[in-house]
Amino acid sequence: MFITDRVRYHLLTEADIVTECSVLIGGKAGDGISQAGQLIGSVFASLGYHVYQYTDYPSLIRGGHNYCIVRAAERPVTAYRSGIDLIIAFDQQTVDIHSRRLTDRGTILYDSDRVKATGIPLSLAGIINPLEGVQIMGNTAMTGALFRVLGIPWERIEPVLRRKIRAQPEKNIQIGNAAWNQVSSQMEVQDLGGSGRPFFSGNEWIGLGLLAGGIDAYIAYPMTPASGLLHFLAGVAEETGITVYHPESEIAVILMAQGFVYAGKKTAVGTSGGGFCLMTEALSLAGQAEIPVVIVVSQRTGPSTGLPTYTAQSDLLFIRHAGQGEFPRWIAAPATPEEAYRLGARAVDIAWKYQVPAFILSDKSFSEGIFTGDPDMQDPVAHPLSAPSFPYQRYADTPDGISPILSPPYTGEVIKVNSYTHDYQGITTEDPDMTVVMADKRKRKAQALLNYIDRDESIITGGNPDGKTCIVCWGSVRGQVTEAAEGSEVRIVSPLILEPFPGDAFRKAMRGVERIVVVEESVSGQIVTILREQGFIPDEVLLRYDGRPSAVEELSARLGRVL
């Protein structure tokens, strides 16, 4: 077929028809790399594609080498591939580092004012200056040119730009259209039809889940990679009616959240490993006082400051055991947008039903990754809370260890919470018998929570259900594993709930397995500790701990050497 444009005619062969495409955008901080990626991903999503965007950037305000990869496919994707079909180069470093990744059909779209390359030149200054734009609008120009190279009609692009660009939209659209007209089509991206797909970051999917779960407040101190959740919820606070507050420290965050909860407000907080370190004493307060609070922890490379903008799965055991003393908690790790939405809501429900800290354990790859999701996700259903009896006892002893919760003010009742060992009313005591009663009460609550979560849906399975070799993974790594293992006979088992660990459901999923391979982004393989507790000894442990997630091809090669 022929595509007509103002520059030339280009004959498209069947090989040029695109139903999966990976685009890499590279440049310096300040070039608008991530924004360009989001525009590209949003257009693909509007055409009905499943999209995943990975962003790689150093901890610098300006400069450094920044890049993002946008992958669009006909099926759900939550990982990137090594092969790149199109590179958008804002600087020479992008070409020098990434040109080797081009596929056979790949090409480079580059700023000819700053870059020397073979491919499709585009003078950003030559487009922006006549239209009296500013340098940052170069990302809109590159985006417009890319869509022409991909054979996407302008009328499918402009509505997305109008929806996504808030600063000077008309000027940006002029610049994008001018760039679109300066290049010619070399591929044809098929329109998959439909009404498009929602395209949000992992943090935003979690936030949507928290909102669906009915949170009244979100409190956080900015800490990468959880900061996006604070920004998102602050942006929708007015329309949703929630309170969003940024106090002076992580310690203030968790204590303020528990104050909100005491007043009857369903509250969540968000942080990363270093910030959560400061919260651990107050976490124990929540355990003793039975205060329901939701805590989102997004992992990054440690110890200490580590790599602030890179990923890891090295906080699992810390989160599982944080705080002094013994008290129950719930930990879940999503790997897809649908899981993030569902678990965000469930965390609120679990926290209030069982009056425990409920954790969403994410990581940089998931929190800052951007994903399309199911536009028809079902709203979650919450447990009804038990009605209190009177006179009210905040810590009434019950068969399942769960005391009915009541918030002040309530006429004629004193509602006391206490971090000290206490009696049924919350009055401080050091009586040994009452100490045992309250410890046993928490123990029964932990068992009730385990009984509730130890079911098939707490374990995600994939691959060959009868495979004798099994890959065990958790969190965001599951997306890489699922694709990397395609074509093999392996089974994939991925715990969605990590505490309390659903041992019976896990053993059921592992029936018939003779060989276990663990894949994790940590130095020590932290889930191995949990597997050993359940009686499973891994045969191989594939670890990555340089702060970067694996491309599908990279992990496939590593698995191929051990399977």
Q: Is residue 516 part of a domain?
A: yes
Q: How sure is the predictor about 8, in pLDDT bands with cuts at 50, 70 and 90?
A: very low
- Asked whether the predicted pLDDT for residue 6 surpasses 60, the reply is no
Residue 356 and residue 211 share a domain: yes
pLDDT, tens digit, 9 for 90 and up, residues 391-445: 999 999 999 999 999 999 999 899 999 999 999 999 999 999 999 999 999 999 9
For 307, which DSSP code? Answer: B
Number of compact structural domains in the chain: 4
Q: Are residues 294 and 210 in the same domain?
A: yes
Q: Which one, of 271, 305, 232, lies nearest residue 59 by Cα?
A: 305
What is the average per-residue pLDDT within 14-23?
A: 74
**451 has a pLDDT exceeding 90:** yes
Report whether pLDDT(1) > 60: no
Sequence-ordered alpha helix ranges (H) in 99-226: 124-128, 138-149, 154-164, 169-180, 202-212
- Say yes or no: 407 and 447 in one domain: yes
Mean of per-residue pLDDT scores for the chain = 93
**Integer Cα distance of 109 and 90 in angstroms:** 9
The whole-number pLDDT of residue 10 equals: 36
CATH number at residue 182: 3.40.920.10
Q: Which residue has the tokens 């130095």?
A: 523
The one-letter code for the residue type at 449 is: L
Has residue 378 been placed in a domain? no
* CATH code of residue 264: 3.40.50.970
Identity of the residue numbered 276: F
Amino acid letter, residue 206: I
H or E element in which residue 552 lies: helix 552-562
Q: Is residue 194 part of a domain?
A: no
Establish if 379 belongs to a structural domain. no
Q: Once rounded to an integer, what is the mean pLDDT over residues 246-271?
A: 97
How confident is the model over 51-82, as pLDDT tens digits?
999 999 998 777 789 999 999 999 999 999 99
Structure token pair of residue 254: 């968790």
Same domain for 24 and 167: yes
Q: What is the mean pLDDT of residues 195-218?
A: 96
**What's the token pair of residue 183?**
């290049």
Residues 217 and 281 in one domain: yes
My answer on whether 442 and 558 are in the same domain is: no
> In terms of domains, do 401 and 545 share one?
no
| Together in a domain, 11 and 154 | yes
Among the candidates 338, 372, 406, a domain finishes at 372
151 vs 140: CA distance, rounded Å? 17
Q: Among 357, 408, 404, 362, which Cα is nearest to 384's?
A: 404
Average confidence (pLDDT) over 349-354: 97
Question: Using one digit for the tens of pLDDT, what is the confidence trace for 501-535?
Answer: 999 999 999 999 999 999 999 999 999 999 999 99
Rounded distance, CA 127 to CA 139, Å?
12
Determine the Cα–Cα distance for residues 350 and 334; give it in Å rounded to an integer. Answer: 16
Same domain, yes or no, for 149 and 48?
yes
- Please give the residue range of the domain that contains residue 541: 458-562
Is 381 within the bounds of a domain? no
pLDDT surpassing 60 at residue 99: yes
Examine the domain organization and report whether 220 and 351 are in the same domain.
Answer: yes
Q: Are strands 84-89 and 357-363 parallel, antiparallel or unpaired?
A: unpaired
DSSP-derived secondary structure letter, 71: E
Q: Tell me: do 449 and 359 sit in the same domain.
A: no
* Backbone φ and ψ of 390, nearest 5°: -130, 145
Residue 5 has pLDDT above 80, yes or no: no
**413 token code pair:** 């009742």
Same domain for 273 and 417: no
**CB count, 10 Å around CB of 404?**
15
Percentage of the chain modeled with pLDDT above 70: 97
Strand-pairing partners, residue 298, are: 362
Give the domain-ending residue among 189, 224, 255. Answer: 189
Q: Which range has the worst mean pLDDT, 121-130, 190-199, 252-261, 545-554?
A: 190-199
What does the pLDDT read at residue 230? 98
Q: Show the tokens assigned to 376.
A: 């028809």
CA distances 473 to 320, 333, 423, 509, 528, Å, are 17, 11, 42, 13, 10
Dist. CA 519–CA 505, nearest whole Å: 20
Instruction: Confirm whether 491 is domain-assigned.
Output: yes
Task: Say if 242 falls within a structural domain.
Answer: yes
**Per-residue confidence (pLDDT) for residue 18, from 0 to 100:** 66
Residue 16's pLDDT is: 58
Is this model's pTM higher than 0.75 or not? yes
pLDDT at 14 over 80: no
Residue at a domain's end among 323, 339, 372 = 372
> For residue 12, is pLDDT > 80?
no
